[in-house]
Structure formats: structure tokens, C-alpha cells
Amino acid sequence: MGSRQDRPLVFIGDSITAAWGVERAETFARHGFVARGVPGQTSGQIRARFLRDAEGARGIHLLCGINDIAEIGGPVPDREIAANILAMGRLAFEAGLPLWIGTVMPSDFWGWRPELRPVARIRVLNAWLRTLCDAGAARLIDYQTPLADPSGALARAFTEDGIHLNRAGYAAVEPAMLRALVPG
């Protein structure tokens, strides 16, 4: 295989990641990014395919946790989400791959599962991610700040259902993503 720069920077995640590669296809192509998102997957499912999806990458952008909080496959304790993210961090380290972890996108699930009231739980998980990355395990990309409304939910201008980003949502996070991932 060619030089490290010839290899893609792989985005691993769920439906938000899958749609990102479509909505921002020009940006992904220009910077050698590849989206490997699988809709509906939890952190445990993403962990199970992590190494396969990372094969041939120059680095990894990881975004997961919202489907665990949304109880897609049933309730998942925060410690299990953390264990899955730590395991993926170890896998990236052992493979010699730089790792960027995006904060969980803000949400209140207003169009989907409003009874779960996830804002506080997302804040806790994002604080943990910040601490993890501050310790040097990976580099954090803050998606909460450009997307959240004053209550901590995903601003309605950036979503149609309270959880998935629309075109404006992806445009809003692109500057933070590019600052983190594109040198210079």
C-alpha cells in the first residue's frame, strides 16, 4: 500500500456517520475520508467490527454512544458504553492508528423517544470522553457546542427528528471536524 497519507481516514459509527459521508461527500472525497457507519448500531456492535473497518486506515474518527442511550437494543449502562469506547481506543493504539473521538451529538429525541430524556446522560458521557481524551488516549472533537440549543438538546434547525443531523447540522459541525483532522 502507498504512503500513510494515501490511505483513508476512516469514520466509524452509526447512522449519523453513514449519512455524513453522503451529505458531505465532496468534503470526504477532498480529504480522503471514508464513512463506515451502520445505522442503528450500538457501541458494542461498532466495537465488534472496529478492526475490520479500520483496516488500511491512516487514522480513525469514532462517533458512537447515542444508540446505546436511545436503547436501540435495550438498556445499556454508561459503564458498558465506556468499556466499549476504551476497548476501541486500545485497538486503535495497538494498530498504531491515531484516534479522534467525537462527542455524542446532543439530542432530546423529541421526534423519536422523548420519554428517555437523554440530555443529562449525553452530558455525562461527553464529560467522560473529554476526561479520557485529556488523559491522552485520543483527541476529542467537540460536536456538542456547535449543535446544542440552550437546553442541551440538538437545535431544531439541525434536525428533522431530534437525533439525526440534517444538511445544516452537518455543515455546522464540519469546521470543528476539519480543524481537528486536517493538518495546517
> Quick one: pLDDT band at residue 75, thresholds 50, 70, 90?
very high
* % the chain with pLDDT above 90: 87
> Quick one: pLDDT band at residue 1, thresholds 50, 70, 90?
very low
Give, as one character, the DSSP assignment of residue 151.
Answer: T
Residue 95 has pLDDT above 70, yes or no: yes
User: Cell numbers 485497538 label which residue?
Assistant: 91
How many alpha carbons fall within 13 Å on the CB side of residue 115?
1
Note the pLDDT tens digit of each residue in 116-171.
889 999 999 999 999 999 999 799 999 999 999 999 999 999 998 888 999 999 99
> Which pTM value belongs to this model?
0.94
